[in-house]
Amino acid sequence: MVRVYARAKLPSRHGDLEIVSFTTRDGQRIDDIAIIAGDITGKSAVPTRVHSECLTGDVFGSLRCDCRDQLELAIDRICSEGVGLIVYMRQEGRGIGIAEKVRAYELQDSGLDTLEANVHLGFDGDLRSYEVAASMIQALEVDSVVLFTNNPEKVEGLQANGVEVERREAIISESREENVHYLMTKKAKMGHIL
């Protein structure tokens, strides 16, 4: 479904990484990228995080969620192990986009939880797809992954699209007063293993 378009060194505060961009088979560039530590080509049990973009958390440090914490934990893990993969998917707000995510935040400020807010706006609770993420992993010639996730649907989504997930490893950060309700909703209503 996708192929590697460009690769470049990405020195970071976490360590020396590589960034990879992709195109569709017909040459359309996509905005999803991969971050790599070490040599993953042809490797099995590659430590991997499929991370959905969270502009408010990843960039602005929002405390409403645990997204940035999970991303940083994953990057630290792959850098400390010297090998690994972050698949960064542009699926903001579980696929509803940043404008609708801000509307969902507004509803959460009025008392709805994260799932209720998305449904109130007319969306399913989670619109993310893992077909492109799986294709990116395959384009990087990874044989199998150890997936850093608390979301069983992510494991199922990758497996359904041909990625061998050897095992799931939890990626849990400390909760805060600002995100404890969010985390409880993910556990109780979305099946996350926390």
Write out pLDDT tens, residues 66-100. Answer: 889 999 999 999 999 999 999 999 999 888 999 99
Active site residue 128: yes
Bridge-based pairing state of the strands 84-89 and 46-52: parallel
Q: 């530590």: which residue's tokens?
A: 37
Catalytic hit among 32, 58, 66, 126: 126
| Three-class secondary structure of residue 37 per DSSP | strand
Which residues make beta-bridge pairs with 35? 19, 86
Domain of 9, CATH number, reads 3.40.50.10990
On whether 50 is known to bind a ligand per the annotation, the reply is yes
Active site residue 143: no
End-to-end CA separation in angstroms for the chain: 33
146 in a structural domain: yes
On whether 83 is known to bind a ligand per the annotation, the reply is no
Q: For the full predicted model, state whether its pTM sits above 0.75.
A: yes
104 in a structural domain: no
109 in a structural domain: no
Q: Report the number of distinct structural domains present in the chain.
A: 1
Which residues make beta-bridge pairs with 29? 23
Q: Which domain holds residue 34?
A: 2-91+128-190
On whether 120 is known to bind a ligand per the annotation, the reply is no
Residue 122 has a CB neighbour count (10 Å cut-off) of: 8
Encode 76-108: b = buried (16+ Cβ within 10 Å), e = exposed.
ebbbeeeebbbbbbebbbbbbeeebbebbbebb
Write out pLDDT tens, residues 26-59. Answer: 989 999 999 999 999 999 999 999 999 999 999 9
